[in-house]
Amino acid sequence: MKNNLLTGLIKENPIFVLLLGLCPVLAVSTTVENAIVMSLSVLFVLLGSNLMVSLIKNLVPNHIRLPVYILIIATLVTITELVLKAYTPDLYRILGIYIPLIVVNCLVLGRAVGFASKEGVLVSIVDAVGFGLGFMIGIVMLAIFREVLGNNTITIMDNLSKITGYKMVYQLIPNTNIFPVGLLITPAGAFISLGLLSGILKMIQNKRREER
Amino acid sequence: MKKEVLKGIIVFTIIGFLCSLLLFWVYETTKPLIEHINRGSYYEK
């Protein structure tokens, strides 16, 4: 069970190791707030789909497995979309098309077909939590890197402040002319940042392996 | 073969129906809030 959790979190991190579901990751990681809401949406869909798929795995005939799984995932994504639209319309507008696109996220469908359809309910839930948190760690790390270096701020609650009542936008280094590096906020900057972070993590992993 | 196809259709229909019920409930719950936003009152705060 612990192994299942750690697999998604570190060993097979969906963003830095498996490179799955990169479309929203690259597009939405301009602020930490967007990254957190996006990853929470993915976590909810992943958790719901893994739970439902593992519950009905023996009832679904093999030849209609995929349509049924997509039906379940699409339902969960539409629920997420409606809830975001109702409670945080500003964020819903910013995240835009990337919320409905969770339906075709390889990570969600991959875990449903590759894991939940073969394993028990509890293990599937643990797997979903592991991969969901792994996705969250990846996208938030990327967002911190891009926002801090590209905009010299960290936005934890800006659009969400209408619900929570707190506004949390911090400027990191006041009166500096080193930051911001505007390139990192652009789509090209997203690819560069992802490559850099991926490379750094791989280097750390290799160093640890050599030490052992 | 025919039996398998029939089973597939029945399972897909039942799961589709349950999913639509769930969606309908969420839609009805969030409808007042979404209408409130569409009227523009949310942004007047």
Q: Is this complex scored with an ipTM above 0.90?
A: no
How far apart are the C-alpha atoms of A169 and B23, rounded to whole Å?
35
In this predicted model, which residue has the larger pLDDT, A151 or B21?
A: B21
Question: B6, B14, B30, B35: best mutation site toward chain A, by most A Cβ within 10 Å?
Answer: B30
Q: Do A85 and B37 touch (CB under 8 A)?
A: yes
Which residues span the domain enclosing A15? 2-211
Across the range B20-31, mean pLDDT stands at 94
How far apart are the C-alpha atoms of A85 and A130, rounded to whole Å?
27
Closest CA to A53 of A127, A117, A97: A117
How far apart are the C-alpha atoms of A104 and A37, rounded to whole Å?
18
Residue type, A174: P
Q: Do B26 and A60 touch (CB under 8 A)?
A: no
pLDDT the model gives residue A178 = 67
Closest CA to A46 of A111, A100, A99: A111
- Domain segments of chain B as ranges: 2-44
Minimum Cα–Cα distance from A71: chain B residue: B16
Q: Do B30 and A85 touch (CB under 8 A)?
A: yes
Q: What is the mean pLDDT of each run of 10 residues along chain A (212 residues)?
A: 78 85 88 92 94 92 91 95 91 89 89 89 92 93 90 84 82 73 85 90 88 82
Mean of pLDDT over chain B: 87
pLDDT the model gives residue B17 = 95
Task: Return the sign of the alpha-carbon dihedral for residues A190, A195, A198, A199.
Answer: negative
How far apart are the C-alpha atoms of A157 and A167, rounded to whole Å?
5
A86 touches chain B (CB under 8 A): yes
Residue B45 scores a pLDDT above 90: no
A68 touches chain B (CB under 8 A): yes
pLDDT the model gives residue A140 = 93
Across the range B30-38, mean pLDDT stands at 87
The CA-based angle B39-B43-B45, given to 5 degrees, is: 115
**How many domains is chain A partitioned into structurally?**
1
pLDDT the model gives residue A179 = 66
